[in-house]
Structure 1
Amino acid sequence: MSGNGIVIVGAGHGGSQLATSLRQEGFDGPITLVSDETDVPYHKPPLSKAFLKTPDMAPQLLRAESTYTDNAITLRFGARVSAIDLQARRLELDDGAPLPFDRLVLATGARARRLAIPGHDLTGIFTLRTADDARALRAAIPAAQSVAVIGGGFVGLEAAASLAGLGKQVTVIEAADRILGRVLAPAMSAYMAGLHQSLGVKLLTGTGVARLDGANGRVTHVTTTDGTHVAADMVIVGIGANPDIGLATQAGLACDNGIVVDGALRTSVPEIFAIGDCVAYAHWQTGSHLRLESVQNATDQARHAARVLAGKPEIAGYREVPWFWSDQGPAKLQMVGLAIGTTRQVISGTPANGAFSIYHFRDDRLQAIDSINRPADHMLGRRMLAANFHPDDALIAAGPAALKAAFAEFSKGQPEAR
């Protein structure tokens, strides 16, 4: 090894975690963390909630800046990588100073999808992915009266709830026949729809967007595919994200809806690893080749990659139970596992009471649990899925206490789940 150490491209949840985890795992070589952002690594989930509603709030740091200096982690912020030179093992940066590496980790994340329809370039149209995005959106909120959110996914709905709470007239336009339809069961989608309507949010589902209309260069309306005109002096585009794989494809790494990695999180080039939202991998539970966008996945993959890069014995390939959350108004939605390929659902609790869980099964195997305001269900679910514990319908119907007791009995003598 030449002494150039490990270079990490991307300083989000995954990149920041990897840099610190490498030190925790005993790696004592050079570590350089490169980011095209200028902010010290920060939590992204609050950007669509508390950050939007609090004018003087700064991004919430993932860890103090001193953590990086104390651990001899070199920060190269505001630096855009233009290419990977595999032969020379170095990064080409826009500022002209190449950065050599022994091993490289791509933690480039994902970038918000943009609209490609007439009017997409009008002023008053925002995405919400980075702190700079959130700052621009927050600065425009006081002058906005009517807000159109295009896309009924997590980020759009979180922003919709936040803005409705600030007294704005909010309309969510979703092309699918229900909000959150790609990630939630119909019963949970219906509950969340009712919740947003109770907050004053208008929902237009099964509705596409034809164009954005404006006056004097600023957006004033959204015209839907059925000809409806939705007043909007602010538009938030929340139509998902694409993995940031430009550097990987330029370098010839294998990509398929993300940078393809193995169980050690190595790419098709052995000295290059990848983690987080930009990565596609074979998921142990579903058998599917997929890409996950979540804080948990990015940080857990970072910890796994750190063990591999530090030369620790590999227990197994990356195998963590995925979990997610979304705070929307008074609802804390928590999800664990993946409902891909499930065949039936069992509901525990009562949606009308604002606290319930949906258990997703593939035949008799529990694969996922979605919960509203039942955090104990979520935490137990993470342990049950990690241990391959599959309760039957009667046990779920008996209630959380019985389920917890049955799992405790099952766990006696079982190897402790990581």
Structure 2
Amino acid sequence: MGNAPYVIVGGGLAASRAAQTLRAEGFEGDLVVVTGEAHRPYERPPLSKDYLRGEVDRSAVFTVDEGWYAQNAELRTGEPATGLDPGARRLTLADGSAVDYKKLLIATGSSPRPLPIPGADLQGVHLLRTVEQSDLLHAAIKDAGHVAIVGDGWIGMEVAASARQLGREVTVFGLGAQPLERVLGPEMGLVFGRLHTDHGVELLRRTQVAKIIGEHGKAVGVETGDGRRVDADVVLLAVGATPNTGLAVEAGINLRPKELGGGIAVDGTLRTSGPDVWAAGDVASIPSVHYGRPVRVEHWQTALETGPHAAKAMLGDETPYDKLPYFYTDQYDLGMEYLGFVAGPDAYDEVVVSGSIESLEFVAFWTKAGRVLAGMAVNTWDRMGEIEALIRAAEPPSPEDLQSFR
């Protein structure tokens, strides 16, 4: 195994950043990047925003050009990895070939969760994860009269905003009382609910979708559990994502239980239970020093940070990962940044707001026993450093300090 390559499995930002970091840190050995997609690794946030709307071209999703890979790595596109034997240090690909490795990084991301209802396989029903799926969805929305979105999480609401900006009628079907309630709680979910209704989106709350209605093999509407029909010629299923843990399962590598977010269990260096195997990005469940529990976050910043961290660990760095989760969204004229972690709507006591919710310029803090768990800045920029200091503060700030934050 002395001359075997380092191998990265994945087609997203974590894989790309890991490859770049290995070279930047001086790794001179052979490097193989394996992805099931037809392209070099790329980032996904534009797929539901400006790329979906046709405002930028495909080059906007690629963070590293083809020339870099030609000089620095063997890039194997369109070759999904199907098996992993950590004992033999061997990765098997879908075509039956195998790659022996010295060290391996799993950065396989996540996949849209299927919705097992009648009509989910009709023409006009879409999922969104890949650049090709974004292309298809863009073309469909461009020619659509009415877009139905099943799911009111980040992808669903970002696509709803994009579809409205393209002039389409939009209905969103959500299980909660407010969109984004599962991640932001009802208070801030209400803010996003008002934002979308103000922009003409029809929000159906606490609504179960029973089936997609089809005619001649094509979707023409959505039927709810209580029998309501909403006509639509484009349907997006956006009911969450599932971490792509298949390689780890195949290899007998430890996973995190579902109640802790699932994913591949790693230590602070992102090392898995498999010898010389690390994991990064959406698929990795990382122990948080600050929150005292494992955290798995399916967001761009986590891929951006964990890819390099895993690469350095593969080169011997033992520094534990200690970044606070961060994510952002852009919807209409609202820009938001969020830092921290809240395990769910029951994991905090209250939301303290500084600024004006009505004018959509504010900072919100989720608190538990006075301590700040997370903060969200809406149309208020360059505050993440201060919010992090409050989250990490030895003594909890007073409510008055939070209310006067701006």
TM range (shorter): over 0.9
User: Residue type of the partner of 1:298?
Assistant: A
* 2-structure distance, mates of 1:88, 1:215: 52
Q: CA deviation at 1:51?
A: 1.1
Q: What do residues 43-96 of structure 1 show as CA deviations (whole Å, max 9, x unaligned)?
A: 2111111112117721421122222334x2221111111211334321111223
CA contact (8 A) 1:20 1:68 kept: no
User: Residue type of the partner of 1:102?
Assistant: K
Query: What is the 5 A alignment of 1:231-310?
Result: 231-256=231-256, 257-310=262-315
Give the alignment's Cα RMSD to 1 decimal: 1.7
Query: What is the 5 A alignment of 1:106-255?
Result: 106-255=106-255
Normalising by structure 2, what TM-score?
0.93
Q: Comparing 60-69 with 234-243, which one deviates more in the overlay? A: 60-69
* 2-structure distance, mates of 1:321, 1:85: 33
* 1-structure distance, mates of 2:116, 2:78: 28
Normalising by structure 1, what TM-score?
0.91
Which residue of 2 is the match for residue 62 of structure 1? 63
Which residue of 2 is the match for residue 331 of structure 1? 334
Q: CA deviation at 1:279?
A: 1.4
* 2-structure distance, mates of 1:351, 1:311: 47
Which residue of 2 is the match for residue 407 of structure 1? none
CA contact (8 A) 2:50 2:56 kept: no
CA contact (8 A) 2:111 2:244 kept: yes
* 1-structure distance, mates of 2:130, 2:396: 39
Which residue of 1 is the match for residue 381 of structure 2? 375
* 1-structure distance, mates of 2:388, 2:65: 29
* 1-structure distance, mates of 2:371, 2:220: 50
Which residue of 2 is the match for residue 342 of structure 1? 348
Which residue of 1 is the match for residue 259 of structure 2? none
Which residue of 1 is the match for residue 321 of structure 2? 318
Q: CA deviation at 1:218?
A: 0.4
CA contact (8 A) 2:7 2:33 kept: yes
Q: Comparing 240-249 with 297-306, which one deviates more in the overlay? A: 297-306
Q: CA deviation at 1:277?
A: 0.6
* 1-structure distance, mates of 2:189, 2:293: 24
Query: What is the 5 A alignment of 1:63-102?
Result: 63-70=64-71, 72-102=72-102
Q: Percent identity?
A: 36
Q: What do residues 200-245 of structure 1 show as CA deviations (whole Å, max 9, x unaligned)?
A: 1000010000111111000111000111101111000110000001
* 1-structure distance, mates of 2:283, 2:59: 23
User: Residue type of the partner of 2:283?
Assistant: C
CA contact (8 A) 2:86 2:274 kept: no
CA contact (8 A) 2:86 2:277 kept: no
Question: CA 1:125/1:16 → structure 2, altered by over 3 Å: closer, same or farther?
Answer: same
Aligned residues: 397
Question: CA 1:168/1:335 → structure 2, altered by over 3 Å: closer, same or farther?
Answer: same
CA contact (8 A) 2:40 2:75 kept: no
- Indicate the SS of the match to 1:353: coil
CA contact (8 A) 1:55 1:138 kept: no
CA contact (8 A) 1:321 1:386 kept: no
